[in-house]
Each structure stands twice: as C-alpha cells, then as structure tokens.
Amino acid sequence: MVTVSHIVKKIVSGQPFVEEALGSRIISVANLAEQILPKIEQELGKKVKHAAAVMALRRYADEIA
C-alpha cells in the first residue's frame, strides 16, 4: 500500500541536495511540504493535508539525521 510517507521518501531521496539539507535541519519542513504537496497528491491520487506531508517529512528528517 502506498502511503504519504513512502511518497515523501521517494521524492526527497530523488533530490540529494534537498535530502542533505533536510537531514542537516537547514531547510524549512513546512515550506518543503508545501512545495512537494502537488507531487504527493498526484502520485497518491487523492487530496493530502499539509499537516500529513509535514509530519512525514519530519519523521524522514529524524531518520536521515
């Protein structure tokens, strides 16, 4: 089953500079979530709340830090 978390990991891991900045905590998680929200919704096929994308990014940032 595809989840918001899986899609966020796929999008961020495909952009090494963004992944590094996220892991270093020098990028705004909320702003990044806003930027990738359309990609997440397109891949998932339904609307996604901003808060869900933010939480997935925060969890992924903790994972790569």
Q: What is the pLDDT of residues 10-43, one digit of tens each?
A: 999 999 999 999 999 999 999 999 999 999 999 9
Answer whether 0.75 is exceeded by the pTM: yes
The DSSP 8-state label assigned to residue 42 in this structure reads: H
Quick one: pLDDT at residue 27?
Answer: 95
Q: How far is CA 64 from CA 16, 21, 57, 58, in A?
A: 12, 10, 11, 10
Quick one: pLDDT at residue 33?
Answer: 98
SS3 of residue 48 by DSSP = coil
